[in-house]
Structure 1
Amino acid sequence: MSFIVLENITKSFKGVPVLKNLNLTINEGQVLGILGRSGSGKSVLINMLRGMKDYKPDEGSITYNIAICQECLRVEPPSKVGSVCGCGCGSEFEAQSVNFWDSDRKVFAAIKRRISIMLQRTFALYEDDTVIDNVIKSMIDVDYEESTYRALDILELSQMTHRITHIARDLSGGEKQRVVLARQIAKDPMLFLADEPTGTLDPKTAELLHQALIEGVKEKGVTMVVTSHWPEVMKKLSDYVIWLEKGEIIAEGNPTEIVEKFMAQVPLPEKGEEFKSDAPIIEMKEVKKHYYSIDRGVVKAVDGVNLTVDEGEIFGVVGLSGAGKTTLSRILFGLTDPSSGEIMVRLGENWIDMTQKGPVGRGRVMPYLGILHQEYSLYPHRNVLGNLTEAISLELPAEFAKMKAIYVLKAVGFDDEYAESILKKSPDELSGGERHRVALAQVLIKEPNIIILDEPTGTMDPITRVQVTDSIIKAREELNQTFLIISHDMEFVLDVCDRACLMRGGKILKIGEPESIIEELTPTEKEKMLGEE
């Protein structure tokens, strides 16, 4: 039964076309997968289906074939036509075809209320509430006792039963993402839209969450539209797949066939020259970070770490969520003070004590450090050029600023023409993957000596992932930059890193070539970081 019909959909932002004459029918209960590179139009289409502000089509129409209660304006999918409305008004649902973007304001709002959406790296939670209260608050017309049991079931689906009493603001980025998923499932939607719903999660956890989408959405007959940069997982999830390229559908049909065609065009990363250096630039000795938690007592986030990183090295810190990786990077950058230990960074011929505050301590080094956080953000009221220059106080003549911005955008995977075309775009006009690359470019453009990247491949499609791998290697070779890469993506670490260390329980268990780290992984770590059973 056709549920949503898109006819001749065209959309441009500031004269740049992002969707071109799209025609598509989504049937009730179907899971539609959307494949495509970053910037292909996936996120624009998702936002358009939801009715998000500024995403109205320039041309064409989106028609929702719905069942609607004329008494209370309750909306359901078309299979409910003829059944009695469950809100107590006693009316029957009637069939209605609604031109979504040109419909009556109340009908437009009624349809939007019945749509759940998960956007890339957006953690819309009640920060001061517990995990279970966040899920309960998303339910409509459900009594408290029933809502509690239902919330527990949904949190079990999303692998969050171990955190139900934790406050939302204290969760990691991946945990917040799982709570967002639980909240959206709890809304009992008629349409579920998921734009890279597991972008920052390790492969195994992402697969578990995709399974949650199958059990909590697909198997209940809820229509779903999902984008993902893990095509193999998407192949298992979708009933039908379209491949978007520069706003056009270039292939569609059977998920297995379309995914294979898409993956056939993914290049292999280039191998850089063999790295050789005997000049350390970072030295950490017996570094500890302990803190007290009411729930868990003394937590040893970092516990006696000894680490040396050489100048020009690409060094990986790998481990599961909670191993202490991000805390270690924050200590090095000066965002978190260690409980004890020594952290030294070499600047020229001088070694600087990073535990010492002020202009003669770590303040002297900070201009030469760059960091891309897992939960990065761009300045929303500045365009891309402004984000790369003015927003980070990089004072350059106008023409040189433009040239340098284009150069660094090319380094993170944009081609010449497209790099120039997005300079005047604001962040909200970019896809999630494009924003991620601009954030990486924002770090690289300052040409820091040491760059810390926390989960740098989180929302990237396979092609962009290879381009970023190549750009990191190129930056090292051309600028002699040192990289510390925090990641649970072992495949990425194997491609890009010279050496790596394995963290577990706040300790470093092994340091060596990335291939040697695999030998030390537990079966659980192999599952979650390599996707191996």
Structure 2
Amino acid sequence: MSFISIKNINKTFDDNNVLKDINIDIEEGEVVGILGRSGSGKSVLINMLRGIKEYRPDSGKIIYNLAICKSCLTVDTPSKSGNSCSCGGKFEAEEIDFWNSDRKIFAAIRRRISIMLQRNFALYDEETVIENVLEAIPTGEYEEKLYRALDLLEMVQMNHRITHIARDLSGGEKQRVVLARQIAKNPMLFLADEPTGTLDPQTAKYIHETLKEGVKNEGITMLITSHWPEVMKQLSDTVIWLDNGEIVDKGSSATVVEKFLETVPLPKQINEYKTGSTIIDIEKAKKYYYSIDRGVVKAVDEISLKINEGEIFGIVGLSGSGKTTLSRMLVGLTEPSSGEINVRLGDQWIDMNISGPLGRGRIIPYIGLLHQEYSLYPHRSVLENLTESISLEFPAEFAKMKAIEVLKAVGFDSDYAMNILNKAPEKLSVGEKHRVAIAQVLIKEPTIVILDEPTGTMDPITRVQVTDSILKARQDLNQTFLIISHDMDFVLDVCDRTALMRGGKVLKIGTPEEIVPELNPKEKEEMLTD
């Protein structure tokens, strides 16, 4: 008898069938990977298994086969049937129709399910890291709980931050503490919905290793969604491939992943493109910080580079190499400690160190920037996010035409683009939100486009579509792109030249192919798929 049986599940949102007749059996201790591109229904299924009210199935059942102590309503995995409960009662086997169960049983099941979401760092912001983990441990004496919390923080490599306030952590650090909290809850089912989709490779590696050590190797049943096929191979026993709400295939991780990868198109070849003269000129730019712990931190250390008009220029390096700081200096969000940054507007050079409408204010409207931690206006529709919310006033019909055109450029087909125009961002998957955020940058037709980690939440198919859209935008609009990335494979596909950064310095500038041999072993491991 399976631990969980998903039977004939259907779910519709806004007349869109997001899950269609889904049938899955999950054994106790099994790790099931849910693979598919953004919008395929992966997150809907995860939230449905968790019991989130908005995701109640329209039809079908989710059956949990459990061991239940009738004395205290503690629930556990079916293998515990016949065992004694800590309250003195006895666990008995029972089949529970989750969404139609007694509310107390429903709540008891939910308490035994842990979940990690894509961009949700659910922590107590004003409490320390250790306090956050201690709070999640359900039972035990304080000293016992303290040692358990320290062990978990060591497992996620956050034991050096135990006294730090949660709000002061980086996104990757918060996600590691979230993982420690979720394991601390002693779950019978662990749900991970793209837990590393927005993280840099180094932090993603920590998360994957911890999921393997703290969840899979402990025999905890897990469902994990990911657009990273290699994660499916590493963690999953069985993989289910979802597409447009339907199961396309299911089987061993190696077999299904290989079939999925066969559907990923190759990016279009870069036609030889004649770039113009220099449009960005950076000379000996520095950005130094002072830290009590570390002294002088040289985030950007005397960097000089020139980027040509119409060029797609990549800046690559590991987290902390200075890539994002340099991009923020370029648009005036971070003031340089010294050095010169000039950007050409027509025939005139603008000094980006000079603020105000007579300085960098003249060029800022012509620069589009996608932050790594992008956000959409939550209470505005997709159409409004692409038009009036960013101060673009178009006649109604032209606004729709323009929005659909740019959504197609980032990988949506015409019908789906039309379908999501009036949706709120919360109705989209994280990958779809990411593409809308890129569309929000491109729709203004900026002269210079800066994309900070543009492939973070993208499935392989969408990644190729975005690659093609960048090449097309450069061809059609003569746009100049600066791409900040740790994804060397993406840079190889799309960039003309690339700068390798390490420790705040540019070590080499050349074609992406010339940069690959310069990567050290750690960079190769974390920046290259193959």
**Structure 1 length normalisation: TM-score?**
0.95
1:421-458 Cα shifts (integer Å, max 9, x gaps):
11122212211111111111111111111111111111
Equivalence for 2:76? 76
Which deviates more, 124-133 or 271-280? Answer: 124-133
Tell me which of 241, 258, 261 is aligned to 2:259.
Answer: 261
2:380 is matched with 382
Q: Distance in 1 between matches of 2:212 and 2:285?
A: 43
Match of residue 292 from structure 1: 290
CA distance in 1, matches of 2:142, 2:388: 50
Match of 1:25 in 2: 25
Task: Quickly say closer, same or farther: Cα 1:9–1:482, change in 2 above 3 A.
Answer: same
Q: Is the 8 A contact 1:120 1:197 kept in 2?
A: yes
What 5-or-longer segments of structure 1 have no aligned partner?
A: none
d(CA) in 1 for partners of 2:222 and 2:40? 20
Q: 1:343 Cα shift?
A: 1.6
- Cα deviation for residue 165 of structure 1 reads 4.1
Percent of aligned positions that are identical: 70
- Provide the residue aligned with 1:173 in structure 2: 171
- Deviation readout 1:458-506 (Å, 9 max, x if unpaired): 1111111111111111111111111111111111111111111111111
Deviation at 1:310, TM superposition (A): 1.3
Measured after TM superposition, the shift of residue 167 of structure 1 is 3.8
**CA offset digits 1:106-134 (Å, max 9, x no partner):** 22222112111111122223334443333
Contact 1:203 1:531 in 2 (8 A): no
Q: Please, which moves more after superposition, 418-427 or 276-285?
A: 276-285
Q: Is the 8 A contact 2:489 2:529 kept in 1?
A: no
After TM superposition, the structure 1 = structure 2 runs for residues 321-400 of structure 1, keeping only pairs within 5 Å, are: 321-400=319-398
The answer on whether the counterparts of 2:7 and 2:60 sit within 8 Å (CA) in structure 1 is: yes
Aligned residue type for 2:367:
L
Q: Distance in 2 between matches of 1:530 and 1:142?
A: 44
Which of 290, 298, 301 aligns to 2:299? It is 301
TM-score (normalizing by structure 2): 0.96
2:459 is aligned with 1:461 = yes
Distance between the aligned counterparts of 1:448 and 1:148, measured in 2? 53
Q: Pick from 435, 438, 441 the counterpart of residue 437 of structure 1.
A: 435
Partners of 1:520 and 1:133 in 2: CA distance = 43
Amino acid in structure 2 at the alignment position of 1:67: A
Counterpart Cα distance in 2 of 1:365 and 1:127: 37
Q: CA deviation at 1:205?
A: 4.7
Structure 2: tracts of 5 or more residues without a match: none
1:69 is matched by which residue type in structure 2?
C
Contact 1:125 1:134 in 2 (8 A): yes
Which residue identity does 2:476 align to in structure 1?
E
CA distance in 2, matches of 1:316, 1:130: 38
Counterpart residue number, 2:136: 138
Corresponding position: 1:491 with 2:489: yes
Equivalence for 1:55: 55
Q: 1:512 aligns with which of 488, 510, 513?
A: 510
Residue 478 of structure 1 is matched in structure 2 by 476
- Please name the residue that 2:15 is paired with: 15
Output the CA distance in 2 between the equivalents of 1:521 and 1:293. 28
Tell me the distance in 1 between the aligned counterparts of 2:426 and 2:67: 33
Give the residue type in structure 2 aligned to 1:53.
Answer: K
- What is the CA–CA distance in structure 2 between the aligned matches of 1:51 and 1:381, rounded to whole Å? 25
Question: For the structure 1 residues 507 and 396, does the alpha-carbon distance in structure 2 shift closer, same or farther, using more than 3 Å as the test?
Answer: same
Partner-residue secondary structure (3-state), 2:363: helix
Could you tell me how far apart the structure 2 residues matched to 1:322 and 1:161 are?
A: 20
By how many angstroms is 1:401 displaced? Answer: 0.6
Could you tell me whether the CA contact under 8 Å between 1:203 and 1:530 is conserved in 2?
no
1:44-67 Cα shifts (integer Å, max 9, x gaps): 111111112311111111122222
- Residue 415 (structure 1) aligns with: 413
- 1:277 — aligned with what? 275
Opposite residue 529 of structure 1, the aligned amino acid is M
- 1:316 to 2:299 alignment: no
* Residue 203 of structure 1: how far off its partner (Å): 4.3
Kindly tell me: are residues 393 and 472 of structure 1, through their superposed partners in 2, closer, same or farther at Cα, counting changes over 3 Å?
same
In structure 1, what is the Cα distance between the partners aligned to 2:54 and 2:176? 28
Which digits, 9 at most, give the CA deviation of each residue in 1:55-93, with x for residues without a partner?
Answer: 11111111222222333332222222222223xx32222
Shift of 1:175: 2.9
Equivalent position amino acid for 2:330 in 1: L
Task: Provide the C-alpha distance between the structure 2 equivalents of 1:254 and 1:222, rounded to a whole number of angstroms.
Answer: 19
Q: Which amino acid aligns with 2:185?
A: K
